Chain A
Amino acid sequence: MSAVDIPLAGEAEAPHTAPARLVVEHASYAYDPGRRDAPQFSLEPVSFQARRGELVMIVGPNASGKTTLLKLLSGVLRPLGGHVELDGAEVARLDPRTRAQRIAMVQQESPLVFPVHAAEYVLQGRYPYSRRLHFPKEEDQEMAMRALEQVGGAHLADRWMQELSGGEKQRVVLARALAQQPLLFLLDEPTLHLDIGGQVELLRQLASLAAGGHATIVVVTHELGLAAEFADQVVLMQRGHTLGVGSPAEVLQEEVLREVFEAPLRVEIGPGGRPRIRLEVRPE
C-alpha cells in the first residue's frame, strides 16, 4: 500500500519541524446529569498537540473518556472549557461541510439498513465536496477507486457492504475516510472486530498513511500492544483524567498500567526502544 496515492490537503514542510496541526488545550466536557442516557462522568481538562504525519493513540480502561475526547476532536461536542483547534480553526465552530472536508471519523460499526455497494459507500466520502444532489463527477469516482486500491480493497468495489467480513468492511470504511481527503483522521476502536492479523494490517496502513506526512491520525483503542508498537504519541486516560501524554516509552510504564488497568501487566523495552506489554498470569 502506498500512503501518498490520495493527495491530502496541506503540503510542504517536513512533519517533524512543522507547527502543531491539532492543538487541544485544557479541553473539558461534562454530560448533562439530568439526562438518563448520558454517561455519568466528566472529562477533566486535557491538553496535547499533534503534528502533521503523527499517529496518536488514546488508551485507557472502559469509561475513561476516550470516546468523549474523540468527539471533542471531531467537533460533534463543543468543549465546556478550553478549545480544540485544527490548523488554527476551532473545530466546533466549523460548519458541517467544512468540518467533513478537514476531519474524517471512522466509528464503531453501525449496521446498514438498506443494501449499498462498497464503491457507493466509498463515494459517500466525496459528499462534503459535492453540490446538493451529489451526482458524482468522474474525478470523484477516480478518487473513490484510488482510495479503495490504497487500502487493498479494489476487488470489493462491486460487493454489497452487508456481505463483507469484518476486515473487508473495515477497509472500505477506511477508504471512505480517505476519499474525504481530510487533514485529521479520527478512529474509534477500529480494531474491535478484527483478528490479530487484521489489527496489525490496519495499524500498518494507518502508520504508513501518517508516515506519508500529510495527515494526522488519532486512534482510540484498547489494544495496548498496538499502541506501544505503532503510536508516535500516546494519551493515557482513566475516569475522565489524562494520566500521561508522550511517547509510548514515556507513558506506558509498568507501574502505571498495572494500577490503571488493574491487571498484572509486564512492560519490557524492545530492541527499537519501544515498550512491549504482556499479560503475566501465573497458574494458581
Chain B
Amino acid sequence: MKPLTSRRVVGVTLLLALVLTLVAVVSLRMGAVPISTQDVGSCLLQAATGKTAEMSSDCRMIVLDLRLPRVLLALLVGAALSVAGAGFQALLRNPLADPYVLGVSSGAALGAILALLVQPRTTLGTMGAAFAGALLTVAAVYYLGRRGKQLDSYTLLLAGVITASFFSAVIMFLMSSLPGRDLRGMAFWLMGDLSSPLPVRTGWLMLVGWMTIGAVYTTAADLNLLAGGEQEAMHLGVNVGRVKLVVYLAGSLLTALAVSVSGAIGYIGLLVPHVMRMLFGSDYRLLIPASALGGAIALILADTLARTVVAPTELPVGAMTAIAGAPVFIYLLRRKLG
C-alpha cells in the first residue's frame, strides 16, 4: 500500500475536472434545440473573448442565457452538497449522513421560506435565514441523536428523518397560505429545481461556495482522524473543537447556499462521497476535491436528464436524484445493518 501523495490528489482532481468539462459541454449541447459541440465551443470562446457582436442568437439566448447559468448552478450546488455530506459523514461518524437525510436541507428550506414570507425581496436575508435554519437543525439533530455519551448511528438517522418530516409539515402549513400562482413555483423549488432565475450573481455564489469548500479542505487531515472517534483524534493532536466548528459551520453554509438557490435536492450529498470512496479510497485529502467535482458532475447529469427525458416538459432535478438515490440508500443501509 502506498500512502496518499499530493501528486495523486492533483492527478485525480485534474482527471475529474476533465470529466466535468466534458459533461458540461454535453449538457450545453442537449435540450429542446440541439446545438453542436463546435457551436458550443465557439460560443463559449466568443463569450470569453468578449466578441458579442459575432454571436448567433442560439449562442446568446440558448447557450449563454439559458443553459450555461444552469450548468454553473448545478456545478456549484452539486459540489456544495457533496462536500457538506462528506464533512457530516466524518463528524458524525456515520456513512449514511448527508444534508438531506439529516434534515438540514429541510431546516434551510424552512428558514428560506420564512424569510420569503416576511420579506420577499431580500436575497441575503433569505440566504441568512436558510443558514440559520441549517445550523439550528444540525445542532438539534446532533443533540437528539446522542444516547448517553455516544452518538448513535440509527438514533441520529431517526432524529434526522423526524426533524425533516416535522419541518416539511411546517413548510406545508406555511405554503397553504400562499396564493395559487406562487404555490406551484414554491412546490417545484422545494422538490429541487435549478430552473429558477438566480437571486444573486453566479460569480458571488461561486466565490462563497468554493471558499467554503476550501475551508473544509483545510481540515481534511483532521477529518481522517475524527472519523476514528473524537477521543482518538484528540489524543493524536487534533484540535477537535475547532475542526467541528469549522465543518459544522461550513457544512451548514454550503447546504444553505444550495437550498436557497435550488431547493432541497436529495441524495447527492450521500451518494457522491460513497462512490468517490469506492473509486479513490477514504482519505479526506482526496475525498473532498473528488466529492466536489463528482457532485458537480452528478448534478449536471441529473439536471440534463431532468430537462430532456420528457422534453419539452421539465422535471424537478430533485425528483431525478431521488429516483436514482433512494434505492441506493436502501442498499447501503441494508449492507450496514449486515
Given contacts A76-B234, A113-B94, A114-B277, contact A136 B220 (CB under 8 A): no
**Residues from chain B with Cβ under 8 Å of A96 in the complex:** 234, 237-240
Task: Convert A94-118 into 0s and 1s, putting 1 for each residue whose CB lies closer than 8 angstroms to a CB of B.
Answer: 0011111101110100101111110
**For the complex, is A281 an interface residue (Cβ under 8 Å from B)?**
no
Chain B residues with Cβ below 8 Å from A97 are 237
**Contact present for A100 and B1 (CB under 8 Å):** no
Interface residues of A in 59-118 (CB under 8 A from B): 74, 76, 96-101, 103-105, 107, 110, 112-117
Chain A proximity mask over B213-248: 1 for CB below 8 Å, otherwise 0 = 000001011001101110110111111100000000
A114 and B227 within 8 A (CB): yes
Across the interface, which residues of B come within 8 angstroms of A157, CB to CB? 1
Complex contact B282–A116 (CB within 8 A): yes
Beta-carbon contact of A117 and B1 below 8 Å: yes
- Main SS at interface, chain B: loop
Complex CA distance for A79 and B168, rounded to whole angstroms = 47
Query: For the complex, what is the distance from the CA of A127 to the CA of B223, rounded to whole Å?
Result: 12
A136/B3 contact (C-beta < 8 A), A113-B94, A115-B282 known: yes
Interface residue B338 (Cβ < 8 Å from any Cβ of A): no
How big is the B interface, by class?
20 to 34
List chain B residues, Cβ under 8 A from A134.
221, 285
Contact of B3 among A113, A123, A180 (CB under 8 A): A123
Find out whether the CB atom of A125 lies under 8 angstroms from the CB atom of B236.
yes
The residue in chain A whose Cβ has the minimal distance to the Cβ of B229 is A110
Q: Which of B148, B227, B236 contacts A127 (CB 8 A)?
A: B236
Q: How near does chain A come to B269, taking the closest CB pair, in angstroms?
A: 16
In Å, the complex CA distance between A74 and B285 comes to 28
Given A115-B282, A119-B3, A120-B3, 11 other A-B residues pairs in contact with their CB atoms under 8 A: A37-B148, A76-B231, A76-B234, A96-B237, A96-B239, A98-B237, A113-B94, A117-B1, A119-B1, A133-B285, A135-B5
Distance in Å: Cβ of B246 to nearest Cβ of chain A = 12
Residues on B lying within 8 angstroms of A by beta carbon are: 1, 3-6, 89, 93-95, 148-149, 218, 220-221, 224-225, 227-229, 231-232, 234-240, 277, 281-283, 285
- Give 22 CB contacts A-B under 8 Å: A76-B234, A76-B235, A96-B239, A96-B240, A99-B237, A100-B235, A100-B236, A100-B237, A101-B237, A110-B231, A110-B232, A113-B89, A114-B95, A117-B1, A119-B1, A127-B221, A127-B238, A132-B221, A133-B221, A135-B4, A135-B5, A135-B6
Q: Top 3 closest A-B pairs, CB basis? A: A100-B237, A114-B282, A128-B237
Which A residues fall within an 8 A CB radius of B? 36-37, 74, 76, 96-101, 103-105, 107, 110, 112-117, 119-120, 123-125, 127-128, 130, 132-136, 141, 157-158, 180
The answer to whether A104 touches B221 (Cβ under 8 A) is: no
Assess whether A127 is in contact with B231, with CB atoms less than 8 Å apart: no
Which residues from B are CB-within-8-Å of A141?
Answer: 3
A97 to B221, CA, bound (A): 14
In the docked arrangement, what's the CA distance between A2 and B298, Å?
A: 52
User: In whole angstroms, what is the CA distance A197 to B309 when docked?
Assistant: 64
Complex: chain A residue closest to B146, CB-CB: A37
- Which residues of chain B have C-beta atoms less than 8 A from A132's C-beta? 218, 221
CB-CB under 8 A from B232, the residues of chain A are 107, 110
Query: Complex Cα distance A110/B230, Å?
Result: 10
Measured between beta carbons, the chain A residues less than 8 angstroms from B281 are 115
> Cβ of A112: which chain B residues have Cβ within 8 Å of it?
227-228
Residues of A within 8 A of B282 (CB): 114-116
Identity of the chain A residue whose Cβ is nearest the Cβ of B149 in the assembled complex: A37
Find chain B residues with CB under 8 A from A105 CB: 231, 235
